[in-house]
Amino acid sequence: MDTHLNRVKQNVKAWIPPTTLKRADRVKLHRLRMGHTRITHAYLLLRQEPPICSLCGSSLTVFHIIQDCAALDNLRSIFDLQSDGYDCLETPSKIVKRMSSLKKTRYYCQI
């Protein structure tokens, strides 16, 4: 079954987020891993159209923010997160890099 969660976590082993992250970052990390963030899902509650990326005009999803948005390619290369997909939400060192890179975007506070 191809679900968002299966793409993020292929096994059922316990997963513990890095303890070095602040609580707000851990909350955002869990939202990203679930694929349900305020910016990508608020439209359902507000009965609006799905959000569009303000940087490139594509449909706004968690995977788009993490991997697909061409406008964020430079930021991904600065933090050495090229073509990681959801792996960047699994490994502690990459999680810290991912959260740091997201803080440089306009999307961080809306996750």
pLDDT at 1: 56
Phi first, then psi, for residue 31 (nearest 5°) are -65, -40
Got the DSSP string for 55-97?
A: TT-SB--HHIIIII-GGGHHHHHHTT-TT-GGGGGTSHHHHHH
pLDDT at 93: 84
pLDDT at 92: 84
pLDDT at 48: 94
pLDDT at 90: 80
Is 32:111 a contact under the CB 8 Å cutoff?
yes
* Four-residue CA torsion sign, 96, 14, 40, 46: negative
How many CA atoms does the CB half-sphere of 103 hold within 13 Å?
Answer: 11
How many CA atoms does the CB half-sphere of 28 hold within 13 Å?
Answer: 20
Residues 63, 76: Cα–Cα separation, whole Å: 13
Q: What parts of the chain have a pLDDT lower than 50?
A: none
